[in-house]
Amino acid sequence: MADIVSSDWKEQLRQDGYVRFPSLTPRALVDAARAAIDDDLAHHFDPARQVEYDNQSFCPDLRRSAAITRLITDAPIRGIVDAALGWDRIDGYGHAQIAIRRAHNAERERPPEPHIDGIPTPYNGLPTDDPTLSNFTALVGVYLSAQTRDFAGNFTVWPGSHHRIEQYFRERGPQTMREGMPAIPLGEPVQLQCAAGDVVLCHYQLAHTSAVNLSEDDRCAVYFRLWFNDIDKRRWALLTDIWSGWML
């Protein structure tokens, strides 16, 4: 852990809004998570719940299971989260999202469409009677399969967009929390090519999405949305001062 924490990943996180840690997750944890997911899909997959799976999580009954939560609690990424945020100051790691992008889920390449999380929709489980943005602090992605080309279900980011969105919120004021995704230029997207065991840590406010998957293999990842324990007291403040509370 010492080598990872003392490297320049903190500066990259500040500048680009994300950092990828290759092969960070021990293989045994990756294999255990994949085995649990494959078993759940084989025995509990319900085609009638496909919209829920795509917009919230596959394998809902596994989201709090040890096989999934150990990807963050028992792995080196915990030390990185502790160095960046303070492990005892955050919550959310106990309710993961299992995200699968099936092979050939589109007929052709489509430009990725950016978003930030926490905007209520009819499908993502957030209450639509209150359109207020439900922001959090950081996103951790643990990849359980490889993406060796673009348009393979890749996690896609807009480097530096966290700064642009922060400035937009500052200039527009609190009303922006009810206006959805800011319609501003964000730069060019980057589709990350991750191997099984890679981990990505990014700031909540980084614009991101998943590319369509034209490859032969399903893409499988687990995402953890982390937030400061006191976020309900300062949601707006964190949108306009994005590194407040971080230890960077």
Report pLDDT digits (tens) over 11-30.
999 999 999 999 999 999 99
Q: Provide mean pLDDT across the span 127-135.
A: 87
Instruction: With a cut of 50, say whether residue 161 has pLDDT above it.
Output: yes
Structural domain contains residue 8? yes
The position carrying tokens 């994005």 is 242
Rounded to the nearest integer, the mean pLDDT of the chain is 95
For the record, the structure tokens of 10 come out as 């903190």
Confidence of residue 129 (pLDDT cuts 50, 70, 90): confident
Domain of residue 102, CATH code:
2.60.120.620
| Count of domains observed in the chain | 1
How much is the pLDDT for 134? 94
| 34-49 pLDDT, tens digit each | 999 999 999 999 999 9
How much is the pLDDT for 193? 97
Range of the domain at 163: 2-240
For the record, the structure tokens of 72 come out as 């963050």
Structural domain contains residue 245? no
How much is the pLDDT for 127? 83
Q: Which residue has the higher pLDDT, 66 or 128?
A: 66
Confidence of residue 131 (pLDDT cuts 50, 70, 90): confident
CA 116 – CA 126 distance, rounded (Å) = 14
Instruction: With a cut of 90, say whether residue 128 has pLDDT above it.
Output: no
Structural domain contains residue 209? yes
How much is the pLDDT for 94? 87
Confidence of residue 119 (pLDDT cuts 50, 70, 90): very high
Q: Provide mean pLDDT across the span 65-78.
A: 97
- Which residues are CB-contacts of 241 (< 8 A; sequence separation ≥ 6)? 166
Query: Nearest 5°: CA angle at 135, between 129 and 138?
Result: 150
CA 127 – CA 85 distance, rounded (Å) = 28
Structural domain contains residue 221? yes
Q: Which residue has the higher pLDDT, 113 or 129?
A: 113
CA 159 – CA 72 distance, rounded (Å) = 24
Specify whether the CB–CB gap between 155 and 100 falls below 8 A: no
How much is the pLDDT for 7? 63
Structural domain contains residue 246? no
Structural domain contains residue 248? no
How much is the pLDDT for 123? 85
N- to C-terminal Cα distance for the chain?
16
